[in-house]
């Protein structure tokens, strides 16, 4: 069984130190390498599945949050934005270090390129 790794930030006890996203970015790099074992088509399918799950859960969360008393709704949205921001900081740290020369990226196939989908969830308006 894989060793469970502890997260390096705890929002309730002071947030995130600068070193936390740096350390977490190292873990993200390991996960990226794991995904890169897959073919481009497998990655596209995985992304489609994950987006679908995100959209389903986002719709459920939005419906529930809209029914909460305003104070609770705002508090929950603050938590969601805060935690999403922490995750974004982590991935930005990884992306700053990510190879841009394709060193770890799979070679492009003859498949048609996938058009990126912009997030349109209610918590992330454009």
pLDDT in tens, 21-61: 778 888 888 999 999 999 999 999 999 999 999 999 999 99
Query: Is 40 within the bounds of a domain?
Result: yes
Query: Is 48 within the bounds of a domain?
Result: yes
Contacts 24+ apart (CB under 8 A), 43-47: 43/106, 44/111, 44/114, 47/114
Query: Is 83 within the bounds of a domain?
Result: yes
Specify the number of domains making up the chain. Answer: 1
Q: Which domain holds residue 65?
A: 20-97
Query: Is 90 within the bounds of a domain?
Result: yes
C-alpha angle 90-117-36 in degrees, rounded to nearest 5: 55
pLDDT in tens, 61-103: 999 999 999 999 999 999 999 889 988 988 898 899 888 876 5
Q: How far is CA 36 from the centre of its chain?
A: 16
Query: Is 63 within the bounds of a domain?
Result: yes
């Amino acid at each position: 069984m894989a060793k469970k790794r502890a997260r390096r930030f705890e929002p309730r006890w002071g947030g995130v130190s600068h070193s936390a996203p740096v350390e977490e970015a190292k873990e993200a790099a390991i996960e990226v390498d794991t995904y890169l074992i897959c073919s481009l088509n497998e990655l596209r399918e995985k992304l489609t599945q994950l987006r679908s799950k995100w959209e389903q859960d986002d719709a459920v969360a939005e419906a529930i949050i809209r029914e909460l008393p305003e104070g609770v709704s705002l508090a929950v949205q603050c938590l969601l934005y805060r935690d999403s921001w922490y995750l974004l900081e982590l991935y930005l740290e990884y992306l700053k270090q990510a190879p841009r020369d394709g060193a770890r990226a799979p070679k492009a196939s003859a498949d048609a390129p996938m058009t990126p989908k912009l997030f349109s969830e209610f918590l992330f308006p454009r």
